Homo-oligomer: A and B are copies of this chain.
Amino acid sequence: MSATEIREHFPTFEKELIDDIEAKSEIRSFTAGEQLMRTGQYFKSTMLIVEGLVKVYREDDQGNEFFMYYLQPGQACALSMVCAVKQETSQIMAKAVKDTEVISIPLAYMDEWMGKYKSWYHFVLETYRARFEELLVTIDHIAFRAMDERLEFYLKKHVQTLGSKIIPISHQEIADELNSSREVISRLLKKMEQLGKVKLQRNSIEVIHLS
């Protein structure tokens, strides 16, 4: 990936940093559906998302999953960064939702660049802050909200992230991601449809008006 392309996606990076990234990182591609990270996997690099969309979620020992947030182009995975200090294993799952391209940076440079490039330091700190906030929002929703509200929030987030009011997803998939049951999701969606908030189609949901 050329310096121009890196600058395009990460406009706050200083020139010398971009040159370093160009020289020392590699580009990796993942097709939609492919895993980027698995729970228990050792980190060797940190990833900056360039194209595509990555879903980050938790998985329990029964294989149940719980969606946390998306990583979009211009963002990075905070957990791979924060684990540079110790040889730590991943505590999250990350999967490409769309065909995805990432800049893979060996963890050794994390340390080095933090001291060397102000723009890298700020990018990393901002990444931590943003991910902390995502985690806190996630906690809020499961701690303080009922499933119907959580479902609305989930749909809203999808509209924002995907940039489309039509979400191609089945009720079962939503149930999986919210760690609920398909019937509950179907019923809540049906209720929302009756309230004019959404329009249901097979394998997709059109969001009409959510508050």
Q: Mark A117-159, 1 if CB is under 8 A from B, else 0.
A: 0000110011011011101101110111000000000000000
Known: A60-B140, A136-B135, A140-B60. A129 touches B86 (CB 8 A): yes
Which stretch from A29-37, A76-84, A160-168 is at the chain B interface?
A76-84
**Contact (Cβ within 8 A) B135 A132:** yes
**Contact (Cβ within 8 A) B133 A91:** yes
**Contact (Cβ within 8 A) B143 A179:** yes
Alpha-carbon distance A58/B139, docked complex (angstroms): 9
Q: Does A203 contact B (CB under 8 A)?
A: no
Interface size class of A (residues with CB under 8 A): 35 or more
Copies per assembly: 2
**Contact (Cβ within 8 A) B82 A128:** yes
**Contact (Cβ within 8 A) A58 B88:** no
**Contact (Cβ within 8 A) A135 B139:** yes
For A122, the chain B residues whose CB sits under 8 A away are 85
**Contact (Cβ within 8 A) B85 A126:** yes
Q: Which of B82, B139, B143 contacts A125 (CB 8 A)?
A: B82
Q: Which of B62, B66, B129, B139 contacts A85 (CB 8 A)?
A: B129
Q: Mark A8-48, 1 if CB is under 8 A from B, else 0.
A: 00000000000000000000000000000000000000000
Q: Does A3 contact B (CB under 8 A)?
A: no
Q: Does A64 contact B (CB under 8 A)?
A: yes
Q: Does A68 contact B (CB under 8 A)?
A: yes
Show 14 residue pairs from A and B whose CB-CB distance is below 8 angstroms, ordered by the A residue. Answer: A58-B139, A58-B140, A66-B140, A68-B139, A78-B132, A83-B129, A85-B125, A91-B132, A114-B114, A114-B115, A115-B121, A128-B128, A139-B139, A139-B142
Interface residues of A (CB under 8 A from B): 58, 60, 62, 64, 66, 68, 78-79, 82-86, 88, 91-92, 111, 114-115, 121-122, 125-126, 128-129, 131-133, 135-136, 138-140, 142-144, 179
